Amino acid sequence: MFDHLKSLPADPILGLLATYRADDNPNKIDLGVGVYKDEAGHTPVLQAVKEAETRLLRSEETKAYVGPAGTPGFNNAMQELVLGAGHPALVGNRVRSAQTPGGCGALRVLAEFSDRAKTGATIWVSDPTWANHVPLLGNAGLEIKSYPYYDRATSSLQFDAMVETLKQVGEGDLVLFHACCHNPCGADLTREQWQVLAEMAQKQGFTPFIDMAYQGFGDSLEADAYGLRLMAESVPEMLVAASCSKNFGLYRERVGLAMVIYSDAAAADRGQSQLLNVVRGNYSMPPNHGGAIVESILTDAGLRANWEAELTEMRERINSLRSGVVESLRDAGAAGDFSFIEKQKGMFSFLGITPEQVHKLQQDYSIYMVDSSRISIAGLSQSNMAYFCKSVAEVLDA
């Protein structure tokens, strides 16, 4: 029965990691997968997470199943983190959520949920977008179309072209936005641009679907949610897929939130029964551990303050690497202007070099990034910065 199955290529981002691990060059640099790393190249467990786990170990009394929605304590705390306490949608009792296995789980569940509301609905995604959006949304039945977003020639947002395309989008279509720290390009919408898009959503009636995988990695927990919150105030219905992988460093625990905003409380109750039915048809109930950690951190003032301080440290390290790499590339005499990297946000930017140059960096210098030239900034450090910039300068001159 399975003999005829053809083999498929691995996830290009995760596949790169295997090649990196097998490389024995002591100078090798991993700028592939979007996982935060400290100066020593480690991805440590956050102290606030360790403390929450220690407390859980002592206080946990059962491993019995949680329900399909996960725990209400987690869902409520996350809704407030994402929307802000007192958001009109929360006050109006129009928000329902489910704890999911990662942001990926949330994307998939919300995509299937949308497909139930409108079979084969169209979802507009940015060009470019995170490669995994295609299977996560498309395999659930949604039709994917794209709107212009990042102009590689100028290394900046093409907002006018984006608006021009989205003008044709109306009721019954979904539009996917990255809340902050755009993956893969790092170019985010300004507050004024969010305002324009919120007005378009309101006027044209399309449904915003916001992917928030990096809250706290851009400017701050609050500032990074600005556009999402504004959008949620402007439209009657909206979807949010939030991830706790990056900002809590809980990658392998798989914890996220699928959140739906409805036009009123009665619609919310009906919709939630559908959302939970989608969950039941996939994995029945989410894993508990990661969600319990997040709930414990968000609901304890001391742990929360420690976590916010650690999150700030991660963000500031990335931002100082952004300035550092621009300066070092200039010092190394790299051809071109890389100052855009400093203006962008979050884990990623495109270096803007060709796939051939990306391959040369990998083959000759053991520097790993995805073919698009997306670099995961946190893979840089004081110790590898000079080698990285010198190598890029040489490859650009070759």
| Chain residues 176-235 in contact with ligand TYF, contact rule CB under 6 A | 183
What is the bridge-based pairing of β-strands 150-151 and 156-157? antiparallel
Binding mask 19-58 for ligand TYF (x = CB under 6 A): --------------xx------------------------
Closest residue to ligand TYF using C-beta atoms: 34
Annotation says 246 is catalytic: yes
Choose one: 10-18, 253-261, 305-313, 325-333; the region binding ligand TYF (CB under 6 A): 10-18
Binding of residue 130 to ligand TYF (CB under 6 A): yes
For the CB of residue 221, give the shortest distance to ligand PLP in the complex, in Å. 17
Q: Quick one: 49 or 104, whose CB is closer to ligand PLP?
A: 104
Residue 11 found at the interface with ligand TYF (CB under 6 A)? yes
Chosen from ligand TYF, ligand PLP, none, partner binding at 212 (C-beta under 5 to 8 Å by type)? none
Q: Which residue is nearest to ligand PLP (CB)?
A: 102
Region of 11-19, 224-232, 277-285, 353-361 interacting with ligand TYF (CB under 6 A):
11-19
Cβ burial 69-100 (10 Å sphere, 16+ → b, else e)? bbbebbbbbbbebbbbeebebbeeebbbbbbb
Task: Please give the Cα distance from 255 to 392 (Å, whole number).
Answer: 36
Amino acid at 324: G
Indicate which of ligand TYF, ligand PLP, none lies near residue 11 (CB less than 5 to 8 Å, by partner kind): ligand TYF
Distance CA 285, CA 288 (A): 9
Give the whole-angstrom CA distance, residue 231 versus residue 163. Answer: 16
Contacting positions for ligand PLP (CB under 6 A): 34, 102-104, 130, 178, 183, 211, 213, 243, 245, 251, 256
Catalytic member of 30, 115, 124, 130: 130
The yes or no reply on residue 13 touching ligand TYF (CB under 6 A) is yes
The verdict on whether 118 is a catalytic residue reads no
Segment interacting with ligand TYF (CB under 6 A) among 8-16, 77-85, 168-176, 269-277: 8-16
Q: Show the beta-strand stretches assigned E in the chain.
A: 29-30, 95-100, 122-127, 143-148, 150-151, 156-157, 174-178, 207-212, 238-243, 256-261, 348-350, 367-368, 374-376
Whole-angstrom Cα Rg for the chain: 21
Full DSSP string of 49-87: HHHHHHHHHHH----PPP-TT--HHHHHHHHHHHH-TT-
Taking the C-alpha atoms of residue 197 and residue 199, their distance in angstroms, rounded to an integer, is 5
- Please state the closest distance from residue 43 (CB atom) to ligand PLP, in A: 13
> Cβ of residue 230: shortest distance to ligand PLP, in angstroms?
20
Both structure tokens of 31: 């700028």
Query: Site size for ligand TYF, by CB under 6 A?
Result: 8
Residue 29 or 89 having the CB closest to ligand TYF: 29
Quickly count: other Cβ atoms within 10 Å of residue 245's Cβ: 22
Quick check: 365 binds ligand TYF (CB under 6 A)? no
Residue 60 lies near ligand TYF (rule: CB under 6 A)? no
Long-range contacts of residues 296-303, Cβ cutoff 8 Å, at least 24 apart: 296/52, 296/55, 296/56, 297/48, 297/49, 297/52, 297/248, 298/77, 298/78, 298/80, 298/81, 299/73, 299/77, 300/52, 303/48, 303/51, 303/52
For tokens 């625990």, the residue is: 253
Q: 33 is in the binding site of which of ligand PLP, ligand TYF, none (Cβ under 5 to 8 A by kind)?
A: ligand TYF
Q: In terms of CB distance, is 14 or 309 closer to ligand PLP?
A: 14
Q: Tell me how crowded residue 39 is: count the other CB atoms within 10 A of its CB.
A: 12
> Which of these segments, 6-14, 47-55, 109-117, 387-395, binds ligand TYF (CB under 6 A)?
6-14
Nearer to ligand TYF, 132 or 274 (CB): 132
Asked if 109 and 278 count as a contact pair (C-beta separation under 8 A), the reply is: yes
Identify the bridge partners of residue 174 per DSSP, sorted by sequence position: 123, 207
Contact with ligand TYF (CB under 6 A): which of 132, 193, 204, 299? Answer: 132
The active-site residue, picked from 30, 115, 188, 211, is: 211
Find the shortest distance in angstroms from Cβ 232 to ligand TYF: 23
- CB closer to ligand PLP out of 182 and 360: 182
- Cβ proximity of 218 and 315 under 8 Å: yes
Coil, helix or strand at residue 358: helix
Site residues for ligand TYF per CB under 6 A: 11, 13-14, 33-34, 130, 132, 183
Residues recognised as catalytic? 130, 211, 246
